Amino acid sequence: MSDLNTIVSTYLGVSGILAEIIGIVAYAVAVSILIVAFDYVFGWVERKTIAKIQKRHGPTYAGKYGILQNMADFVKLLSKEHVVPKRADKLLFLPTIPAMLALSVFLIFLIPLTPELIETNIGLGLLVILVLLSFMPLIIFANGFGSGNKFAAISAQRSVVMLLSYEIPLVFVIAAVGVLANGYTLSGIMSAQNHWWFVFLMPIGFFVFFIVMLAELERPPFDMREADNELIAGWLTDVSAPYYTLALFLDYTRMFLGSLLIAILFFGGWNGPVLPPVVWLLLKVFIISFFIMIVRATTVRMRIDRLLRFGWTWLLPLSLLNLILIYLLFIG
Amino acid sequence: MAITRINIGPVHPSTHGVIRLVADIDGDTVVNLEPHIGFLHRGVEKLVETRMYMQSPPYMEKLDYVAPMSYDEAYVAAVEKAMGVEVKERAMWVRTILLELQRIASHLLWLGTMANDVGQFFTVFMWCFKDRDLILRLLEEASGARMFYVNMRIGGLIRDLPPGFDDRARETLNYMEKRIGEYEDFLEKNPIFIERMRGVGVMNRDKAIELGVTGPVLRGSGVSYDVRKDNPYYVYDKLNFEPQARSEGDCFARYKVRMLEMRESIKLVKDALSKMPGGDALGMQVRLILPSAKNREVTLSREMPRGECMMYMVADPQKPYRLSIRSPSFINLAALNEIAKGCRTADIFAIMGSLDLVMGDADR
């Protein structure tokens, strides 16, 4: 915690364990505020963008340009009754959504947002994130089966099928990134992209990673877990008011996480002229999230068995090819 | 393998109207899909028996609330046939134009909901509703109402087309032609959409004939049967159009047939607008309806947006003795179980969308 320490001690004039605690708390609060702000702003931006694509106006009544609409929805959802179905296994059903949210927030804490604050930059950062990210479909599986709803159960099955279809290509792409950056620390990956972003060095890897991230984030065309026209709301079918609010937050927090990962792994992270690094990073995140949004409005949902086939016949060979090419071109 | 039984509907995001599907699913494969209908049964056939002839059109319109005018017209045509009334020359043309506009509006609504069923997040849906509104505006000009028109009268219509309708209709139709191309680009250039539709829910020619399906569902299976062409009514035989058929019999074929049909309808309306004679299109105001003795039993068939509708009416003075309707949605729904067997869970909704069911029409 050396850097936070120095910042706190230079600005506040305290030192030792107190400075360390203040530093940790301040960082946690700042990142949490950032996450909530992103969730809120993107909840609104997504509504407005998709409305514009669909020739609608989107929210207009609550606040200027409907900026308060999400707040209104949030308050409304919190005021609703929380219903836990009788047939639900409470041990599995209740803690899963808070656990997922906590996991996503924790993963964002693991990402160094500026070069100065590298205490979050743990040794095998990317691999830790990869491992923890793979828990998400399993948590969804637990929630789906725990809720005792058949639609949720089908969603849980789909969750596992999705895990099978994209997790291995993801590992290969991350291995290729590790090969290029000569390590798995996130700051190392970003500083390796000083001259050339990895998106130019391995476009195939980026293609695979982007698709896998869309699937990971339950974004269309890979939102089969939540497929609202088929499974009502999938694993969220029986989730009611406060937990559903959390689920909405979870959606955007995961999108933030996914966009951060794409920005860091392929678009140089905080690299960029003039503006401070954190601004560059957030700008890239914003653009990537925006793109994910546009994909949502313009595509059709894939079928789960097709995703499995797509994963094994396209993504896996492509990611392997990517790894081999990277090895031959840059190492061998 | 354990078989899961899931209830889809009657309250479900993508059951069109109110239908309950009981699906037996083995893993991800549908073993059996049983539709349960009757949630929207209003007993219209019986209700009509207790009303005088011209009190019934509003009830008929509520049967198929997506294409109300076509039912209105079919019923009034049945009454006219029973009475032995000749429809005025211009009224025939106006009716043809309005029915074709109604067909375009109905198909646009179908396109939006079907795109939603395969997981399109409301974009096509919103666009279609926006464009459908232009057609509804034309129909409003012609009839005074946007949804339930009740503008058919014995021997004609409640009012003639307003002045300047030609130009506005042509303008709207030109725009619509462009838009349909855009929809096709939007959907067909998406490989996922093609994958969701092609080879899904295949109904071959023999099966389609055996099940008695009609309309775009039948034409999607390669049978070029269109009442407008094979048994023409009004002025369809004087107009220039081709019934659209595709031989694949899958969801994509049914989708494509409807898209082509919209184009044909646009062509048809433009043709009719240019050939339309002048004169009078107003219907009679009838207070006492006495069916002619030789036509007591009347049957007539109409090509509706959803398929062939048949009206069988036994006429009494003032009130029909019996009215029986062969509704296209009801018969097409019977095909659902046959073609959904063995498909994936997600395909149920693509198939439902491609059949274009209106439950008000099926339940009557």
Angstrom distance (rounded) from CA A114 to CA A117: 6
**pLDDT for position B163:** 86
pLDDT value for A7: 67
Within 13 Å and on the Cβ side, how many CA atoms surround A191? 12
3-state helix, strand, coil in chain B (%, to 5): 50, 15, 35
A229 contacts B115? CB cut-off 8 A = no
User: Which residue is it, tokens 């048994």?
Assistant: B231
Minimum mean pLDDT among A141-150, A181-190, B26-35: which range?
Answer: A181-190
Cβ neighbours of A223 in B, within 8 Å: 119
DSSP class of residue B282 equals B
Average pLDDT over residues B256-268: 90
Residues of A in contact with B125 (CB under 8 A): 54
Q: Where are the alpha helices (DSSP H) in B39-190?
A: 44-49, 57-61, 68-83, 89-117, 123-143, 165-188
| B118 close contact with A: CB closer than 8 A | yes
Note whether A229 contacts B6, CB cutoff 8 Å: no
Q: Please list every residue in chain A whose beta carbon sits closer than 8 Å to the beta carbon of residue B2.
A: none
Q: How far is A193 from chain B (nearest CA, A)?
A: 33
Q: Is 60 exceeded by the pLDDT of residue B308?
A: yes
Q: Do the beta carbons of residue A180 and residue A198 sit within 8 Å?
A: yes
- Domain extent listing, chain B: 4-363
B10 preceded by a cis bond (ω within 30 of 0): yes
Q: For residue A170, give the nearest of A125, A219, A198, A205 by alpha carbon.
A: A205
User: Hey, is the C-beta of A56 within 8 angstroms of any chain B C-beta?
Assistant: yes
Count how many residues are written for chain B.
364
Give the separation between CA B295 and CA B82, rounded to whole angstroms: 5
In sequence order, the 6+-apart residues with CB closer than 8 A to the CB of A331 are: A179
pLDDT computed for residue B174 by the predictor? 92
**DSSP of B12-30:** -TTSSSS-EEEEEEETTEE
- Residue A88 identity (one-letter amino acid): A
Q: Which two tokens stand for residue B227?
A: 């009442």
The pLDDT of residue B294 is above 60: yes
What global pTM score does this model have? 0.87
pLDDT of residue A119 exceeding 60, the answer is no
The residues that bridge with B4 in the sheet, in sequence order, are B25
Percent pLDDT > 90 in chain B is 9
Q: Are B358 and B64 in contact, with CB atoms under 8 Å apart?
A: yes
- Mutation target to probe the B interface, by most B beta carbons within 10 A, among A229, A237, A251, A292 is A229
CATH class as words, domain B4-363: mainly alpha
- A53:B123 CB<8 A: yes
Contact B201, B221 (CB under 8 A): no
pLDDT at A1 over 70: no
Average pLDDT over residues B67-79: 89
Nearest alpha carbon to residue B257 among B324, B320, B303 = B303
Residue A120: band (very low, low, confident or very high) from pLDDT cuts 50, 70, 90: low
Alpha helices in chain A (DSSP H): 2-12, 17-53, 69-78, 90-109, 125-133, 135-146, 150-181, 186-192, 198-201, 203-216, 228-231, 241-266, 277-298, 304-310, 316-326
Asked if B4's CB is within 8 angstroms of A301's CB, the reply is: no
Per-residue tokens: B296: 């007591």
Mean pLDDT, to the nearest integer, of A50-62?
A: 87
Mean pLDDT, chain B, rounded, equals 86
Q: Is A20 helix (H, G, I), strand (E, B) or coil?
A: helix
Least confident of A226-235, A253-262, B211-220: A226-235
Q: A228: distance to nearest CA of chain B, Å?
A: 7
